[in-house]
Chains A and B, each alone.
Chain A
Amino acid sequence: MFNLEQTIAEWRRQMRAAGIKTPVPLEELEIHLRDEIDQQMKSGLAEQEAFNSGVQKMGQAHALQNEFKKVGETKILNKYVMKKFIHGIILAVFGFGCLFVWGILSLAPAVRRADPMLPAFTVFCISLRPVLIALPALAAAYCVWVWFRKADRVPSWVGFFAAAMGVLVVVTLPAMVAAYLPLLLAVNNLAGK
């Protein structure tokens, strides 16, 4: 006596043996098979014939597995993962940029030995150095948020790149001026002596 549920369970075992192990595709295929069986039975086929016809139309288990495998491989390199990595690269560049600016601002006090009076603008910029820690920390927090987003909701890296580079320019220019001013004063003092 033909038992549809047992036969479908056996078909599932065959699919799993062929390598379709993840529950989502297998469940989806089974629902499709059941829809097809229903349809064939409405057309007048007996349960067993409807099952055989449905399985035949579904295709060979190994051929199906090969197709699903291709999807899995492309998934690893899909553009969403790439977007996340690009966010990481931008963060690294931004972090090094901020470190560089910190270095520039550290040069200014070194010149103090030659002239203890630093220009007010330089002193102001040095007092703002903690911002150079806060900005990369903020960018890193954003990247962590991006990393844990659902694959299809990862935002474009272009906006992050533009913002990071814009901020880097905004902090680098005053830092360079702040470092240049005491150097200029020190050179003038030496020339005066």
Chain B
Amino acid sequence: MITKELVAASTEPMILSLLSGGESYGYALIQEVKRLSGDKIEWADGMLYPVLHRMENEGWIASRWGEAENGRKRKYYSLKKDGKKALNDQREQWLAVSKVFKQLWKEQYV
């Protein structure tokens, strides 16, 4: 399992990345991250919502109430212009970190 600190640090860029593919809702975001990480990243379900609300306050994402196929109310989130900028910034940072690790471990293990 990935540590709590790393999960917390990666939550915002992951949400931004997931929403860059189109609008979604909390439960689907959690399931998608779980699937993509092969169950290694598991967000505490309730903790996702304060993060989503904070990102909405930041102006990165927008929300709207809609209706699910089962007739249940659902709050959908979508990426805004500022969110795209934030995603680009964060992607650059994560890629820089990833590049360093790739080079370090390539040198050590190859």
Q: Point out the residues of chain A lying under 8 angstroms from B64, CB to CB.
A: none
B35 within 8 A of A: no
Complex contact A29–B49 (CB within 8 A): yes
How many residues of chain A are within 8 Å of chain B by beta carbon? 28
Complex contact B27–A71 (CB within 8 A): no
Contacts A27-B73, A59-B45, A68-B50 given: A32-B57 contact, CB under 8 Å?
no
When the two chains form the complex, which single residue of A34, A71, A151 contacts B50, counting CB atoms closer than 8 Å? A71
Mostly, the A contact residues are: helix
CB distance from B44 to the nearest CB of A (A): 5
Complex contact B57–A75 (CB within 8 A): yes
Mostly, the B contact residues are: helix
A166 within 8 A of B: no
Interface centre among B46, B47, B53, B59 (most CB of A within 10 A): B46
Q: Point out the residues of chain A lying under 8 angstroms from B27, CB to CB.
A: 31-32, 35-36
CB distance from A107 to the nearest CB of B (A): 47
Complex contact B75–A58 (CB within 8 A): no
For this complex, 29 residue pairs linking A to B, each with C-beta atoms less than 8 Å apart, are A24-B75, A27-B73, A28-B26, A29-B46, A29-B49, A32-B26, A32-B27, A32-B45, A32-B49, A35-B72, A36-B27, A54-B45, A57-B45, A58-B44, A58-B46, A59-B44, A59-B45, A67-B46, A67-B47, A67-B51, A70-B50, A70-B54, A71-B50, A71-B54, A71-B57, A74-B54, A80-B59, A151-B59, A152-B59
